[in-house]
Amino acid sequence: MILCKSQLTVAIIAVVLSCGHSEAQQPLVVQAKKVITAAGKTIENGTVVCVDGKIKAIGKTGEVAIPEKASIMQSEVAMPGMIDVRTCAGLSGILNVDHDSDHLESSSPLQPELRAIDAYNPREELVEYIRSFGVTTIHTGHAPGELISGQTLIAKTIGNSIEEALIVDGRAIAATLAEASSKSGKSSPGTRGKQMAMLRTLFIEAQELQAKMDAKANPKLTEKSDADSSKQSDKVSDKEKKPEPIARNLRLEAVMQVLAGKKAILITADRAQDIASAIRLAEEFKIKIWLDSAADAHLMIPQIKAAGISVLLHPSMARASGEKENQSFLTAAKLQAAQIPFAIQGGFEAYVPKVRVVLFEAAIAAAHGLSYEAAIESITISPARILGIQDRVGSLEVGKDADLALYDGDPLEYTTHCVGVIINGKVVSTTKR
């Protein structure tokens, strides 16, 4: 039996109260008229069993065993907790004031050493705001605006400390190829050519440092070349033979992780010419990049596909001005048709509330050619795959984290409300949004 809205509210309150008075995590069962799994077909009249923070079972109601003493929540629709593939929430706050604006440091154009973990505030109201709509995981970090603005992290939208929320620290380095990252007057970089030259120089310096570190760690690799050079000198002092210590360089060490494939580099580029430059950089240094925003992506479909690059697409309703003047509501559908991996983001905006809700952005894309299934996937399993966390989140499957969003109607319908959010098997929000 499906509860009416008033009964649902009572049921949710009961779950919250029961969870609050139990030391051990109580099993939680979610029953919905529709369970959107993002891993296959939608289950009509489905049940999801959550035990110890994980999905224990999922299937049709009546065919799935319900644990003893389990709390039961019921709703019209249940789906995986959403993932915002690119945001600054937690570094940027919900207000336009200095104390909650740690998303961009403008003292230098190249700052890959800045770590999002040192600036992230899990108690920020903006994190709670997007969570109330069903966003349970965010890929957040430094904002566009500098040539390299800093690193990103992946976190759940919970916790009193970053340690409670953190999934991956230092997932990517955020870069910008745009007018926003250029400098006026005589400051660098003043032009697009200078931007690319500075990036190349940084990557070459990182390659050289890596070579020095490899040589020090594996001296036998350089013995032959050393032997050849030693023939030119009969006497070399012991002091000269002793290798000099290599000084730490946080900036280059971060870039070395990109070169080694341990981090991606997220490049904000909207103009077609900047997208082309990002692709060229990836090919030159054999690195993994994600195109961020990419307003002109629909003009560069063949090039993006050939490069095998994923797109963190701008919000569908982003303001179509400046470098985004060519953006299209059809871009998501075109990326889907070309089989280019993409996810729709909440992004960053300089005005309150600083971020858009990915649920609404996916709905607009669905109204302009993107299939319903792909729209749901663009904010669930697709971003999970791009970020490399699909083994934990992004779909409702046995063994994955019990992260769910509950709705009183079709999630992509504007009049629908989010009526419950579950993270790691615990009810964390009951605000009707």
Question: In CATH, what number is assigned to the domain containing residue 430?
Answer: 2.30.40.10
Q: Can you give the pLDDT at residue 303?
A: 98
Clarify whether residues 432 and 340 are in a common domain: no
Report the percent of the chain where pLDDT is more than 70.
Answer: 89
Clarify whether residues 18 and 118 are in a common domain: no
**pLDDT higher than threshold 80 for residue 9:** no
Residue 224 belongs to a domain: no
Read off the pTM.
Answer: 0.90
Clarify whether residues 175 and 290 are in a common domain: yes
Which position has the higher pLDDT, 117 or 232? 117
Q: Is the peptide bond prior to 315 cis by the omega test (within 30 degrees of 0)?
A: no
Clarify whether residues 139 and 18 are in a common domain: no
Clarify whether residues 335 and 400 are in a common domain: no
Clarify whether residues 383 and 398 are in a common domain: no
CA 147, 153, 157 angle in degrees (round to 5)?
A: 130
Q: Can you give the pLDDT at residue 108?
A: 94
Tell me which residue range forms the domain holding 335. Answer: 82-196+251-393
Element (DSSP H or E) covering residue 75 = strand 71-80
Residue 215 belongs to a domain: no
Clarify whether residues 38 and 122 are in a common domain: no
- Give, in order, the Cα–Cα distances in Å from 79 to each of 58, 316, 381: 12, 21, 11
Clarify whether residues 76 and 173 are in a common domain: no
Overall domain count for the chain: 2
Q: What is the CA radius of gyration of the chain?
A: 24
Clarify whether residues 322 and 350 are in a common domain: yes
For β-strands 289-293 and 310-313, DSSP reports them as parallel
Clarify whether residues 142 and 255 are in a common domain: yes
Clarify whether residues 144 and 266 are in a common domain: yes
Residue 245 belongs to a domain: no
CATH number of the domain within which 368 lies: 3.20.20.140
Residue 222 belongs to a domain: no
Residue 201 belongs to a domain: no
Q: pLDDT per residue over 314-350, tens digit each?
A: 999 999 999 999 999 999 999 999 999 999 999 998 8
Q: How confident is the model at residue 44 (pLDDT cuts 50, 70, 90)?
A: very high
Mean pLDDT of the chain: 91
Q: Can you give the pLDDT at residue 73?
A: 97
Q: How confident is the model at residue 36 (pLDDT cuts 50, 70, 90)?
A: very high
Task: Find the mean pLDDT for residues 306-312.
Answer: 98
The position carrying tokens 């961020």 is 292
- Give, in order, the Cα–Cα distances in Å from 94 to each of 64, 126, 379: 42, 5, 22
Residue 246 belongs to a domain: no
Q: Can you give the pLDDT at residue 396?
A: 98
Residue 204 belongs to a domain: no
Residue type, 403: D
Element (DSSP H or E) covering residue 304 = helix 301-307
- C-beta separation of 403 from 48 below 8 A: no
C-alpha 96: how far from chain center: 23
Q: Can you give the pLDDT at residue 180?
A: 84
Clarify whether residues 388 and 412 are in a common domain: no
Report d(CA 52, CA 253) in Å as an integer.
38
